[in-house]
Amino acid sequence: MSSPLPLDAAGRRRSPATMPGYLSGRPPRNKSLRYPADPPRVEEIIAVMRAAGDRIHGDRARGLVVVLWRAGLRIHEALALTESDLDERRGALLVRHGKGDKRREVGMDDWGWEHLSRWLSHRTQMPVGPLFCVIDGATQGRPWTPTAARAQLRRLATKAGVRRRFAPHQLRHAHAIEMAHEGVALNIIQRQLGHTDLGTTSIYLQGIDNAEIINAVHTRRAPMMPASAGLRF
């Protein structure tokens, strides 16, 4: 007879899915799948933020969206942030353990800080811990899991009527493309995203629409040469 499952902090039986080794040896369902760079448009992201509502859970969701979108963090980087990693005066966030356990600082604009501030005011009333945490019950202040965060974003996207995949990494793609549109140098985008080489960064920019590429080339000026060259066709 198998031993009973241990209890969680609230005194409830833990789900087998929370036990170490539950998925050991099983390949993830999305293994080998490659999703196209299809980032949401600005109006779609804003629609999702509005769908979150103005209560505490909505403020947490909006805070996560702006950190993913306006700072370009990976989901695990965003969920590992603590309050002490934020420097609003400088507009900086400290990523202590990025991909490959690399440490870096990234920037975030004033608009992003403004929308994060509502969640920050709630967070100070909870136990010390990760910036984005569990809100309710005996586990208040504990880490908010990536699975739960992704599920909430999907629900909000459905509620907002967004008819495309709305995942944390898509917001990171949107961040990269928008910075490229704004004329930010490629090497700065690379540093912001925490990429080791420009080749990876260029993959993120594949979401630029074909029409933009055609228009950029189509509107180039005619070739110029000095009048003294004396060349004729």
Domains and CATH numbers, the chain: 36-208 (1.10.443.10)
Asked whether the beta carbons of 108 and 63 are under 8 A apart, the reply is no
Q: Flag the least confident range among 114-128, 131-145, 170-184.
A: 170-184
pTM: 0.75
Instruction: Check residue 218 and give its pLDDT.
Output: 47
Does the pLDDT at position 23 exceed 50?
yes
Produce one character per residue of 190-222: b if its CB has 16 or more CB atoms within 10 Å, e if not: bebbbbeeeeebeebbebbeeeeeeeeeeeeee
Query: What is the signed CA dihedral for 201, 202, 204, 210, rounded to 10 degrees?
Result: 160
